[in-house]
Structure 1
Amino acid sequence: MLGVESSCDETGVAIYDLALGLRAHRLYSQAAMHAEYGGVVPELASRDHVRKLLPLLEATLGDAGLRPRDLGGVAYTAGPGLAGALLVGAATARALAWALDIPALGVHHMEGHLLAPLLEPDPPQPPFVALLVSGGHSMLVQVAAIGRYALLGDTLDDAAGEAFDKTAMLLGLPYPGGPALANLATQGRRDTYRFTRPLLDRPGLDFSFSGLKTQVLLAWQRSDQSATTRADIAAGFEVAMVETLVEKCRRALRASGGTRLVVAGGVGANRALRAALATAGARDGFRTWFPRPEFCTDNGAMIAHVGALRLGAGEHGDAAIRIFPRWSLDGLGALAA
């Protein structure tokens, strides 16, 4: 199964085999191009996918030692994401499938993230709770089986990754801001600034990070704005974010009675979050699975993987090119037995 990811600012291509596992994968990031603008410019993202997708596809096939006619299917991200970027991947995948007379499947981007830890050795088996934390999403999902998802909590405003990026921008850090802020936080004192842990004072599993971002802005404006203060504020923000995410995961696991947690999405690569969940798991008796850091961000491997699972279960799409810039995860169908 060939997988194509083009939902935002990364072009990913991978080949996954149900019997042999991941055969090859390549990823191209547009971060340097968008840095000039401080964020993703949708039209530029779409045009760059057009330029990069076919060369990446050819290179990935070469890495796997395969030719196009060796493929058994093509999976592509059908949503959610930027409409123009999604169309590039969808049109390319459908055209290739038509030319080779093989099936093509549109894959849900967040299902790709959710199941990315299954690409690792010793993968988790459902049922489990999943925390999906990325630039566009922060949600807790109950996974009864592959394809059977129930939303437990969602973000009411900014997603976790979005809050990282916006906070980094407030502190004058370069784009992409999330990794830069996390690196700076390692140099700061974690107890100098204590910011609110949003929504922990009330029941429920929803997230809200807009107020936390505002607190950081006010603290920075009222400070001496020195390099030391910038690092201390970054550390205080990261502590508040991590403690909030960890406590929501603990609540979700208690509510479900489960002991298995999956964390995926770009923020899942955050070292402080990984360490805090390991500590909480040792205390509470749950285990956490993460994808390797390169599969936390958008990538073609997770799309090829889900496509192979669904094609293997007998799913087939028609010849229409369909994308879903907004697409609910809990509306997906379960895999056939």
Structure 2
Amino acid sequence: MDPLLGCTLTILIISIGFIIWYLFVTVCLFNCLHKSPTFILLFSQALNDIYALSQCAWQPIISLAGVPEESFLPDRWLSVIHGSFELISLPHYIIIALNRALFLIDHTKMNIIFSRRNTIVICLTMWTIPLLANILLHIFSEEDDDGFYLFSTSHLEMGGDNLGLTLTSFLGLVSDLCFYATVVIVVVTYIIAIVWHSYKKRAFLSSSGSSSDGSSPSFGMEMRLTIVCLVNLVPPTITTIIEYTWADRGTAGSFIFALGTVGDNAVNSIVLPAFSQLLRECMKKKAKSILCARRTPEVQKVDPKLFERRRSTVTTFVPPA
């Protein structure tokens, strides 16, 4: 088998597998919306991640179909369709980081700042503003801009042809600057939250005269927040480093880069169930209901008119007085 063909099939199978799994997680997130406004943010992020994974699956599909290049729309509009998820994902990372940080710093203000109404408005804003901004950026871009987010059948990657922060690609420059700014904001937000929470914990322990150990709930909160920060930032950081330092990647490098892209968009489907007990319980109930529905034999329905006809033919016996 051709190595490129095998790698393409692998990426397609992995992408479809994560899409199916993430759809199940998203349905469970939808069922948890009434429990906390935070689940509204996570549900919105999950929809965008599935959108991104659909693009990861579309690239190998057109490659396996033998399509040399997409031509049903101009490049700028294909780029809007294929790449808008990148700009939409950035405010989600920032807002969710602020949400989790506020929980550690002052959880009493969660219901005020992240009320159900405010959270819905925030989610709608996180979808509309980046999408409109991306459309405007593409409208005013040159026809030969290297930052167009396109697919190629010669390799497994998707994205622009620009490398690094250069002025040759207006789209690429704006996208890269937004990504770097998001990374800085998210990292600083998590650091401030963890440091502030640690300071309050030490002050409380010193005033109460008790000691802290690694099994305390506070330590668990800090560790969970740190892990969430790392798993959300490590995959895109790795793919960015590969993109800038490994120019001639070939089939193997292209496969690694494509795997990193899929992992970047699918990581929350693993992280959310791992660190949310409510979501895990909902997923268990949903899985049991699906399995029980498949195992339960179908009950044959009987027409109620049949009983009426039978009752009408029965003669009532009246005993003699």
TM-score, normalised to structure 1, is 0.28
Give the structure, 1 or 2, with the largest relative contact order (CA under 8 Å, sep 6 or more). Answer: 1
Greater percentage in strand: 1
Larger radius of gyration: 2
